[in-house]
Structure 1
Amino acid sequence: MFYRRKYYTVRSDFIEEFNKHFNKTNLPNQLKHGARLVGRWMKDNGNNTFEIFAIWEYDSYEDYKVIESKVRNDARHVQRVKDWYEKNGGKDYILENYISEVRDEALLSAVK
């Protein structure tokens, strides 16, 4: 198995819009192409930001690469994401004003 963690730090006043986008746009597209969501959590940092992270499971790293390629090349999905950014001021605006950190990390098992 291969696991990855997608992590964001998001301003509190944007959290509802960000979560709605995940649930309506990103999650269905990931699932459609074969990704498996283990879970998605958020934590209030107490400083007007939230940490949000999701754990995704794939059969292998090679499967992850195939699924990510399908996700990123799904023209309808790409357009929905572009439309969401534009509706909210544009990608640069969102990254400058609402999302201060994004990480996409491979996770290694600590259980033998």
Structure 2
Amino acid sequence: MLHRRKTYTIRPERLQEFTEFFHTYLYPLQISHGARLVGRWVNEAEDEVIAIWEYRDREHYEQVDRDVRGSTLRREAMKKRARLGKNLYIKSTEDFLTATGVYAPPRAIVSVTAYITNEAGEVLLVRNLHRGDTYEMPGGQVENHESILDAVKREVKEETGADVTIEGITGIYQNVSSHVLCVAFRGTYTGGELRPQEGETAEVGFFDLNRENIDTYIKREHFQLRTLDAMDPHYFPHALYKVRPYELISRYDGNAPSALSGQN
């Protein structure tokens, strides 16, 4: 892996403005083209911000850099910075780092997504700010000490405003490029007022989605795959439990959706 350390010198009183600029433009610019953010830090004086990005190798970094420079979002970022003033950050520097060893156990990011339908059979889709070229099923990352069932209901609620019940797992998908394991669910809309999530989703709605028109809405192949699998689902058995001592939280045998029990 290749790591790039980007250091920004800022004025402390503009830290919040710079953080918003980073999350709106700099972060989505990188991740939408394949980079991974390892972490972002600010020093005690709040006049220096450091972000460390991860790439597979030098060739991958150079490809991401070319893609970023040619993107529409970068042009928007440059216009936004001009409006905010060039001293949004005083200067930036970067250098590249390579690891001297492996000091942590293997890590994978677990995410969840959900195929949610309403009474009319329409499908709940979102269009994210950092993936504006496509609609997709709502979802996101599982937080520490959170079950996948709690996570999918929370992510759907946060991104769309919808309350849902979950029927079962329709597929498991691994992005080996970014170490993300995605668990896809199917469920039903039960209430809540639809609304985009500020800073995350640009559009939310129910759509008359089917196999014939999916290309009209969902442009990315890996999003299409998990959506098509959920249209005519074959549910997977799964269980949530604790150990020391063992406690079964919920168990689903993969048959009828009503078999899903123990949801919080």
TM-score range, shorter chain: 0.7 to 0.9
Q: Structure 1: how far apart are the matches of 2:91 and 2:100?
A: 26
Contact 2:29/2:74 (<8 A) preserved:
no
Counterpart in the other structure of 2:90: 100
Counterpart in the other structure of 1:109: 99
Counterpart in the other structure of 1:30: 30
Q: Structure 1: how far apart are the matches of 2:8 and 2:62?
A: 21
Deviations 1:22-78 (A, max 9, x none): 001111121110000001011122xxx52110111111011000011101110x112
Counterpart in the other structure of 1:73: 70
Letter in structure 2 aligned against 1:18: F
Counterpart in the other structure of 2:221: none
Alignment of 1:20-59 (within 5 A): 20-45=20-45, 49-59=46-56
Unpaired segments ≥5 residues, structure 1: none
What secondary structure sits across from 1:5 in the alignment? Answer: strand
TM-score of the aligned structures, taking structure 2 as reference length: 0.37
> What's the RMSD between the two structures over aligned residues?
1.6
Unpaired segments ≥5 residues, structure 2: 103-264
Counterpart in the other structure of 1:7: 7
What secondary structure sits across from 1:106 in the alignment? Answer: strand
Letter in structure 2 aligned against 1:73: G
% identical equivalent positions:
33
Structure 2 residue corresponding to 1:83, chosen from 67, 79, 82: 79
Relative to 1, partners in 2 of residues 1:31 and 1:84: Cα closer, same or farther, differing over 3 Å? same
Contact 2:38/2:52 (<8 A) preserved:
yes
The structural deviation recorded for 1:83 is 2.0
Structure 1 stretches (4+) deviating beyond 6 angstroms?
none
What secondary structure sits across from 1:44 in the alignment? Answer: coil
Q: Structure 2: how far apart are the matches of 1:110 and 1:66?
A: 24
Aligned length: 102
Q: Structure 2: how far apart are the matches of 1:61 and 1:72?
A: 17
Could you say which structure has the larger radius of gyration? 2
Q: Structure 2: how far apart are the matches of 1:8 and 1:40?
A: 11
Counterpart in the other structure of 2:17: 17
